[in-house]
Structure 1
Amino acid sequence: MNARAICSLASLLLAPLTCQALTMNDDFSLELTLDAVSDYRSRGVSQTLGDPALQAGATLIHGSGLYLGSWTSNVDYGFDYKTRQEVDYYAGWYWQATDAISLDLGYLKYSYPKEGQFNMSEVYAILDLYGFKLGAYYSSDSPNAFGKDQDTLYSYVGYNVALPGEVGLELRAGRNDVKDPAFWSASGDNRETYYEWQAKLTREFVGITWGLSYIDTDLSKSECVSWYGYDDLCSATVVVSANKTF
């Protein structure tokens, strides 16, 4: 099992990491991560009202490619919502054909203490081919604005490459489809899909991986308000991050 694959999963679901695993015995290794970000963005949208977040994760990795873990971050959805934490649980299987070709399959559960109506789950598949990534995350129990479950599909294409000076470049373009009209414009038009994208530079220094990301979506302010309740959570931003793995 290549421990870096688990970090690839975490970077696609959560936040990019530089990874190394702690060997427990011949079969198991454990990865612990700590992250600080200036804004916790998920699929282009802020989960902290634009404020910073501290995040931590732990992944148990088996030599067969099986893994399971948990990850948490502070969140803030404003209004009268009481939850201030997101706790995720995940399990999956990573298969590596060569150093340049791999497949990652798994299940992810999102939970929000004190606001269980936000809880949801996804199954995912991530194909990595020579630095190009294709991913898809499907949910059948994603909550909508009316408190009912609905199908959602998030898919993306990405590319990771090493630049001169030990700098990494990570590119991603994603499409989030909530299957029902959800994003309403000021003119009264609506749509069920939006696009998001990210460009990120990373570099390791004094044992920490530092990141600088540009993140944006094609949601207008009125469309953002109609779904998330605020007009400034979906617009372009720069996110600074610091990541450490033990």
Structure 2
Amino acid sequence: MKRTLLGLIVGAVLTQTPLASAVPLSENFELIGSVGALSEYSMRGISYTQRKPAVQATATLAHSSGLYAGVWSSNVDINGIDARYEADYFAGYTHQFSDKVGIDVGYIKYTFPKGTILNAGETYAVLTAYGFKLGSYYSNDYYGDQSYMYNYVGYGVKDLPYGLGLDVRYGLADYKDPSFFSSNGNAKDSYREWEVKVSKNWLALDWSASYVDTNLSETECLQFQGDKESCSARLVVGVSKSF
């Protein structure tokens, strides 16, 4: 299976997990996985560990046809929610039109044991072309019955000097109902987020450093996530080992 195919699978499903490598299981099946530690678990610009460290792991079984299924997990810490970890299950199909152009479509089920109010399902589609990415994720059961759409545009390059990689992303998360409330009583149903990430493989480990931010105020973040600084500008660093 080509490296570009692995990038589609891992990058489209959970972008916070570094790119994994593959272990051949048979002529048609490969196991893709990694385990890593980060300064926090950041998802679409918002910290799910109140800016505290996170340990994350993922494993994906991929078929040469482009079909795949897998699991991803991380510890979480969200004020007002008893959940201590998140386990996500995903399945999808990816296809390469060429070495530079591909598409990935699938479904993710987010689960939070002891915090089932956060459980949700998402369908997604990600188009990759010449380093650019255009992704869309949709759910109709956020917080029980809230519909939600997340769209982003990004760009990545892996062959910069000194073996560095660079990924940038700009996204919009849009909820059906107003979900963010400011100190003056105004409400809005969406927020914007962005990330600039530098990565490097060194000593057989994948290292990364990301600048993450959103346009949410401290008051809006406190009301939504239970921590006023979990949506502010910050640096997220991580290291992972692929297998």
Q: Same fold (TM over 0.5)?
A: yes
Structure 1 CA distance for aligned equivalents of residues 29 and 17 of structure 2:
23
List per-residue Cα deviations over 1:173-210 (Å, max 9, x = no partner): 00000121111111111110100000000011011010
Aligned equivalents of 2:155 and 2:4: distance in 1?
Answer: 16
Report the aligned-residue RMSD. 1.3
Q: How does 1:1-246 map to 2 (within 5 A)?
A: 1-2=1-2, 4-12=4-12, 13-79=14-80, 81-143=81-143, 148-161=144-157, 162-246=159-243
Whole-Å separation in 2 of the counterparts to 1:9 and 1:32: 11
For the residues of structure 1 that align with 2:128 and 2:145, how far apart are their CA atoms? 31
Structure 2 Cα separation of the partners of residues 8 and 26 of structure 1 = 20
How many angstroms apart in 2 are the aligned matches of 1:229 and 1:149? Answer: 21
Deviations 1:32-57 (A, max 9, x none): 21011101000000000110000111
SS at 2:5 equivalent? helix
Partners of 1:136 and 1:156 within 8 A in 2? yes
Verify the 8 A CA contact 2:92 2:104 in the aligned structure 1. yes
Aligned-partner SS, 1:5: helix
Taking structure 2 as the reference length, the TM-score comes to 0.95
TM-score (norm: length of structure 1): 0.94
Residues 86-137 of structure 1: per-residue CA shift (max 9 Å, x gap): 0000000000011100000000000011121211000000000100000000
Paired-residue identity, % = 42
Unmatched runs of 5 consecutive residues or more in structure 2: none
CA distance in 1, matches of 2:5, 2:183: 43
Alignment coverage as a number of residue pairs: 241
